Amino acid sequence: MKQDLPEDFARSANDTPDDPRAALDTLLAAQREAFLRDPFPSWDARARNLKALRDVLFSNRDALAEAMNADFGQRAKAEVALAEFVVLKQEIDAALRHGARWMKPRRRPVGKWLLPGRAKLVPQPLGVAGIVVPWNYPLQLAASPLVCALAAGNRAMIKMSELTPRTSTLFAELIGKTFARDHVAVVNGDASVGAAFSALPFDHLLFTGSTRVGHEVMRAAAANLTPVTLELGGKSPVIIGEDARLNYAVDSLLLGKTLNAGQTCIAPDYVLLPRGQEAAFIARARTRFAHLYPDFANNRDYTSIISARHFERLQRLADEAQASGAQLHALGTHDAATRRFAPVIVTNAGAQTALMQEEIFGPLLPLVPYDTLDEALRYVNARPRPLSLYLYADDARTVERVTHETVAGGMSVNETLMHIAAEGLPFGGVGPSGMGAYHGYEGFVTFSKMKPVFTQARLNARGLIAPPYGKRVAWLIKLMLRG
């Protein structure tokens, strides 16, 4: 909780020092020293920290929503509430409800030859956690890992994105009012600060962002053998089964693709659908989008693209695909001045176009027709393992096959995005889409050392297998190895 601090730690979290690494080293050292003074906080202390975090963020909901709206150029308050605060509240509530139980040691078997000894796993705080936050969901992706780190009893340093300066500044101010800087500290700055931050010898580093930057973060962490959780991206596929309710599938997918204007790491990236259903898909999408966002040019519910550079990138992906023979089916208008980019469904995009190779991270949605489910599965499995996979099917055999014959960070059946909000499910990638997971109990474990502890009984047989070795030990070994 907030305490008086020495003057050198009282400076603004938004100051960018001339030597960011030196300042970050000093901050990390202070947090580590504070951790060593209190290496195993009680659950009551952890719960107070979680409640303080909840109180300061939720009492400033409107200010945070306004900051995000200003950073994006347009982001509806309702969308911020649903995508940021509802998910975060569930994360905090679950930690408060279950955290005391998560902390308890867990008995483990010792095997018959070590009886009557006892074994247990003791969840132990790691120390100081580093959290690197992207721009697309700046509150949720900063505070949700922080909840896991605090529930596990750690200190934390958080690097916010420079692409959301108002939100990052406000978040830093709120955290600074609530926690001592040697407990939770927010760091703001440009890419050079981010690089210095990733190179710190944290006890654990959680990074959320692109696969490209994830490579750099992992290389930096490797120099210190810092364990990492990487939440990356990739191309999350959708498979629409032959028996699927097409209209329902389109409606659901459109909700997932238009949330935050598709600027979501688990947004659908391309759709595999039975050949011949492309026209019906486009027609339904056009009708549904008009219903969701009437008078699109003036609609205030649709989020803007975060920056001119990102807007231009999306336009370039679409133009390149069209130049190579693809057809673009825009569901609305585009406006570079306001960075409003309506969804575009793309058909006949070449496999080698950037659109089909790169993570889109915006409202472009290629359709890829298939003739058999085997063909669709081969298409998915020939590509890097995705962060998410979506299946629309009511046939149990199709659901079973796709579940067992594909590998993805997470999967939703007849839904889009919602697996990230399921309280009991971990969230994480696999291979190129990431490593490790958090949320709920798995988040607590990620930021804990599950320390194995063996306790020998006062009366034990350990001396029977001590040197000098002889016939007795040979007989015991034979007995132990007997089938």
Sheet holding 410-413, edge to edge: 327-330, 344-347, 364-370, 270-274, 237-240, 388-392, 410-413
**Alpha helices (runs of H) in 59-158, residue ranges in sequence order:** 61-72, 77-80, 87-103, 140-151
Give the per-residue pLDDT at 3.
42
265 belongs to the catalytic site: yes
For residue 144, which of 82, 90, 210 has the smallest C-alpha distance? 90
User: How far is residue 363's CA from residue 342's CA, in Å, rounded to a whole number?
Assistant: 7
Catalytic pick among 79, 265, 278, 359: 265
Neighbour count for residue 193 (Cβ, 10 Å)? 20
Domain 7-232+437-450 classified CATH 3.40.1260.10?
no
For residue 283 the two structure tokens come to 């027609």
Give the per-residue pLDDT at 11.
41
What CATH class has 237-421? alpha beta
Give the per-residue pLDDT at 483.
65
Give the per-residue pLDDT at 272.
98
pLDDT string in tens for the chain (483-residue length): 554 333 333 344 444 556 888 999 999 999 999 999 999 999 999 999 999 999 999 999 999 999 999 999 999 999 999 999 999 999 999 999 999 999 999 999 999 999 999 999 999 999 999 999 999 999 999 999 999 999 999 999 999 999 999 999 999 999 999 999 999 999 999 999 999 999 999 999 999 999 999 999 999 999 999 999 999 989 999 999 999 999 999 999 999 999 999 999 999 999 999 999 999 999 999 999 999 999 999 999 999 999 999 999 999 999 999 999 999 999 999 999 999 999 999 999 999 999 999 999 999 999 999 999 999 999 999 999 999 999 999 999 999 999 999 999 999 999 999 999 999 999 999 999 999 999 999 999 999 999 999 999 999 988 899 999 999 999 999 999 996
Q: Is 459 exposed, middle or buried (0-12, 13-18, 19+ CB in 10 A)?
A: exposed
Peptide bond into 452 cis (omega under 30): no
Catalytic pick among 79, 231, 278, 359: 231
Cβ atoms of residues 354 and 317 within 8 Å: yes
Q: What residues does CATH 3.40.309.10 cover in the chain?
A: 237-421
Cβ atoms of residues 446 and 148 within 8 Å: yes
148 belongs to the catalytic site: no
Q: What residues does CATH 3.40.605.10 cover in the chain?
A: 7-232+437-450
Amino acid at 75: R
Q: Which pTM does this prediction carry?
A: 0.93
